[in-house]
């Protein structure tokens, strides 16, 4: 095994992995701020237009574990950089789409390209950084991902009000191109990566993860996290775009600044787990999440924003704890273990968008809130009865965007 990269290269590599996370998540949720506008333009219901989000998350869920298995064979950097350049193409075609069906198809293609970026980057960090540096690198990646998710929504929202929503996606494609070029130059080639003996071996390792009950329970929690996020932040746009709030696309884009609350709190996750214990901490966070989503039922915009901020912070904290478990449990086939978590996570997002559409059709926002609270109760039961009582701390987390 080759020696790790010298310390002087860490800063450059950290910037590169942060930029990779930024590039991936600047695209994934970018249409959320303009869903009400697209609903009117294409003459579609809220549930129909939310398919733009559903197909992307479902595509991510389908390809993520296989991406990990392939990266265990081919190596990390080449997979990450190639995917970043390929992402430019569907993003440009999304901007040119003339029908909802075309838009949905190319959003699905975007989703297929994203796992080779974020799932493999997490494995790259786990391989290339020594334990003392891994926390910092993972934190930079998480921050880049969260900033990307926020920036993508803001760019599309602002460009929609200034020019058109199509111009917003052209800007996203230009940003993706610039990020890909910088990462290609700055991200060091892997030096500590141990190539799998073959794709079949890597796939067998992936199947082996299904025999680990703790991993399965953690995957279930990940499912619930993005289910709630997508259900909340997809349909709250319809609530706030309508009277009496009547927020513009730009305002809806800036609404996602509430995600940054989780970025501020995430560095304290390790301390909180050590102080309260993993299960007790997550149970308390889930209770706070229920309070936050309940606040959005009150007819006050500041209170709704507060509730969304509490929900976002709670979700990101749950994400940090649950993905940390994946990192310390998977002794072999780390890429495929992370890939399976990503699959469960984004499958939850797909269900959140689809079932959220059903709830919105029958009961508008109160029905969506009720659905989120039911999922929080299920997650609490899983954590209480299926998570191990004692688990060693982990420095490595996979960001939600970060939803």
Rama region for 397: left / alpha / beta (φ>0; ψ in -120 to 50; rest): beta
Confidence band for 4, pLDDT divided at 50, 70 and 90: very low
Residue 223 has pLDDT above 70, yes or no: yes
Rounded to whole angstroms, the Cα distance separating 116 from 348 reads 19
**Is residue 284 packed enough to be buried (19+ CB in 10 Å), middle (13-18) or exposed (0-12)?**
middle
Count the Cβ atoms, other than its own, within 10 Å of residue 132: 8
Cβ–Cβ < 8 Å for 122, 396: yes
**232-272 residue pLDDT tens:** 998 999 999 999 999 988 888 888 888 777 667 766 666 77
Give pLDDT, residue 206.
66
Rounded to whole angstroms, the Cα distance separating 241 from 121 reads 36
The pLDDT mean for the chain works out to: 83
Structure tokens at 43: 């003459």
Range with lowest mean pLDDT among 155-164, 273-282, 335-344: 335-344
**Which domains, from first to last, does the chain contain?**
7-386 (1.20.1250.20)
Structure tokens at 113: 């390209």
Angle at which helices 115-128 and 100-113 cross, to 10°: 20
**24-67 residue pLDDT tens:** 888 888 898 899 899 989 999 888 898 998 898 888 888 877 77
DSSP string, 315-335: HHHHHHHHHHHHHHH--S-HH
142 vs 182: which has the higher pLDDT:
182
Question: 140 vs 15, 26, 121, 145, 334, CA distance in Å?
Answer: 8, 16, 12, 9, 20
Who contacts 78 (Cβ-Cβ below 8 Å, separation ≥6)? none
Confidence band for 182, pLDDT divided at 50, 70 and 90: very high
Residue 2 has pLDDT above 60, yes or no: no
């Amino acid at each position: 095994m080759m020696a790790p990269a010298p310390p002087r290269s860490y800063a450059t590599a950290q910037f590169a992995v942060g930029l990779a996370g930024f590039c991936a998540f600047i695209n994934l949720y970018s249409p959320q701020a303009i869903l009400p506008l697209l609903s009117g333009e294409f003459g579609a219901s809220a549930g129909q237009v939310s398919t733009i989000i559903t197909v992307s998350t479902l595509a991510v869920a389908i390809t993520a574990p296989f991406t990990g298995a392939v990266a265990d064979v081919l190596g990390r950097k080449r997979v990450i950089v190639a995917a970043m350049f390929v992402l430019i193409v569907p993003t440009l075609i999304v901007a040119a789409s003339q029908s909802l069906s075309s838009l949905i198809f190319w959003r699905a293609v975007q989703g297929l390209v994203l796992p080779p970026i974020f799932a493999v980057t997490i494995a790259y960090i786990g391989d290339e950084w020594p334990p003392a540096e891994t926390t910092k690198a993972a934190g930079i990646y998480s921050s880049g991902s969260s900033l990307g998710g926020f920036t993508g929504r803001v760019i599309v929202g602002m460009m929609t009000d200034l020019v058109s929503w199509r111009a917003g996606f052209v800007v996203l494609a230009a940003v993706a191109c610039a990020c890909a070029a910088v990462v290609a130059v700055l991200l060091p080639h892997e030096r500590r990566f141990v190539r799998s003996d073959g794709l079949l071996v890597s796939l067998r390792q992936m199947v082996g993860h299904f025999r680990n009950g703790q991993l399965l329970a953690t995957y279930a929690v990940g499912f619930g996290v993005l289910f709630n996020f997508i259900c909340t932040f997809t349909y709250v746009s319809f609530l706030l775009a309508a009277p009496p709030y009547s927020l513009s696309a730009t305002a809806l884009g800036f609404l996602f600044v509430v995600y940054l609350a989780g970025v501020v709190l995430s560095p304290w996750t390790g301390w909180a787990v050590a102080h309260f214990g993993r299960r007790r901490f997550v149970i308390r966070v889930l209770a706070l999440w229920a309070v936050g989503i309940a606040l959005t039922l009150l007819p006050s915009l500041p209170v709704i924003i507060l509730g969304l901020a509490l929900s976002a912070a709670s979700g990101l904290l749950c994400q940090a704890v649950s993905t940390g478990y994946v990192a310390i449990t998977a002794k072999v086939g780390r890429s495929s273990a992370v890939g399976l978590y990503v699959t469960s996570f984004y499958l939850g997002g797909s269900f959140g968008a689809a079932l959220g559409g059903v709830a919105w059709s029958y009961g508008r926002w109160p029905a969506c809130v009720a659905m989120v609270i039911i999922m929080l109760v299920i997650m609490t039961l899983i954590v209480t009865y299926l998570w191990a009582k004692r688990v060693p701390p982990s420095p490595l987390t996979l960001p939600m965007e970060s939803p």
